[in-house]
Amino acid sequence: MSCDTEGASKAVTRQYMRDMSVAALTYVAVLIVSVFVVRRLDPPQWVAIALALASAAPALLMMRAYMRRFNGLDEFQRRVQMESMLAASAIVGFGTFTYGFLESFAGFPSIDGALLWVFPATCFVWGIAQIFVARRYK
């Protein structure tokens, strides 16, 4: 009997891994093309904008994959996810906010392309936060 529950959970995880793999592969493929075109071919501005938007688009696929997984979780698992997300938003948000002031007021070096790292950093901290949040409920 218990195998059914575990199986359902595994099915959700399998679907998530499949969706996430497709999104990651799409991201890598689009990024390779975009970087090549922007650095080697010096495209007009509108092409550069289109490539920038295309490079960000696979992140939407990742978010969709995650939302599918989220909808397959039970209420407790959702709570762990939400608390972790809140912690990640607070940590990354406060970190970037603080560094912004250090840049403006104290002459700290401006990090080139810093905005590019906000989303990956949030996802990374979110993943780490899940370990600690889940441990609190054990």
Report the residue number, 77 or 96, with the smaller CB distance to another protein: 77
Q: How many residues bind another protein (CB under 8 A)?
A: 18
Backbone angles phi, psi at 13, to 5 degrees: -65, -40
**Shortest distance, position 74 Cβ to another protein, whole Å:** 4
Closest C-alpha to 31, from 45, 12, 52, 1? 52
The answer to the question of residue 32 lying near another protein (CB under 8 A) is no
Does 131 bind another protein (CB under 8 A)? Our answer is no
Tell me the H-state helices in the chain: 2-40, 45-56, 58-71, 75-106, 118-136
> Which of residues 33, 67, 74, 104 is near another protein by CB under 8 A?
74
Site for another protein (CB under 8 A): which residue of 36, 76, 94, 101?
76
Q: How far apart are the C-alpha atoms of 16 and 67, rounded to whole Å?
A: 9
How far is Cα of residue 80 from the mean position of the Cα atoms in its chain? 17
- Kindly tell me which residue out of 15, 26, 77, 96 binds another protein, with binding defined by CB under 8 A: 77
Of the candidates 56, 69, 53, 64, the residue with the CA atom closest to the CA atom of residue 27:
56
Query: Closest separation between CB of residue 22 and another protein, Å?
Result: 26
- Residue 15 interacts with another protein (CB under 8 A): yes or no: no
